[in-house]
Structure 1
Amino acid sequence: MWMNYIDLSEYRNAWVFRHQDMPVSAEDLAQIKPLSESSAYQLWRQRISKEADLPTEWESGDWAANENAWQHKEIWQKAWDSSSPDLPELITEHIDWADNVTVFFCYESSKIIETSWAVFKRNWKNFLFFDDGPILIARKKKQAVQFFQNGAFAVGEMP
Structure 2
Amino acid sequence: MNYVDLDSYNRKWIFTHASMPVAETDLALIKPFTQARASQIWREHVSSQSSDADHFGVGDWAFDDKIWSEPQDWQLAWDGDEPELPEAILNFIDWEDNTTVFFCYEKYNVIETKWSVFKRNWKNFLFFDDGPILLGRKKTQAIWFSSDGQFKLANRP
Q: Distance in 2 between matches of 1:35 and 1:130?
A: 17
Q: Is the 8 A contact 1:4 1:35 kept in 2?
A: yes
Match of 1:47 in 2: 45
Q: Is the 8 A contact 1:72 1:156 kept in 2?
A: no
Match of 1:103 in 2: 101
After the TM superposition, which residues 69-84 of structure 1 pair with which residues of structure 2 at under 5 Å, given as runs?
A: 69-84=67-82
1:73, CA displacement in angstroms? 2.1
If the length of structure 2 is used for normalisation, what is the TM-score?
0.98
Match of 1:155 in 2: 153
Match of 1:28 in 2: 26
If the length of structure 1 is used for normalisation, what is the TM-score?
0.97
Q: Deviations over 1:97-138 (max 9, x none)?
A: 000000000000000000000000000000000101000001
User: Which residue identity does 1:28 align to in structure 2?
Assistant: D
Moved runs in structure 1, 4+ residues, more than 4 A? none
Match of 1:19 in 2: 17
User: Which residue identity does 1:16 align to in structure 2?
Assistant: I
Q: Deviations over 1:59-98 (max 9, x none)?
A: 0210111111212420000000000000000000000000
Q: Distance in 1 between matches of 2:52 and 2:70?
A: 22
Q: Distance in 1 between matches of 2:122 and 2:35?
A: 22
Once superposed, what is the RMSD of the aligned Cα atoms?
0.8
The equivalent position to 2:110 in structure 1, one of 104, 109, 112, is 112
Q: Distance in 1 between matches of 2:43 and 2:155?
A: 17
User: Which residue identity does 1:107 align to in structure 2?
Assistant: Y
The equivalent position to 2:55 in structure 1, one of 46, 54, 57, is 57
Q: Distance in 2 between matches of 1:16 and 1:125?
A: 9
Q: Partner of 2:119: helix, strand, or coil?
A: helix
Q: Distance in 2 between matches of 1:132 and 1:147?
A: 8
Match of 2:136 in 1: 138
**Which consecutive unaligned segments of at least 5 residues does structure 2 have?**
none
**Which consecutive unaligned segments of at least 5 residues does structure 1 have?**
none
Identity %: 52
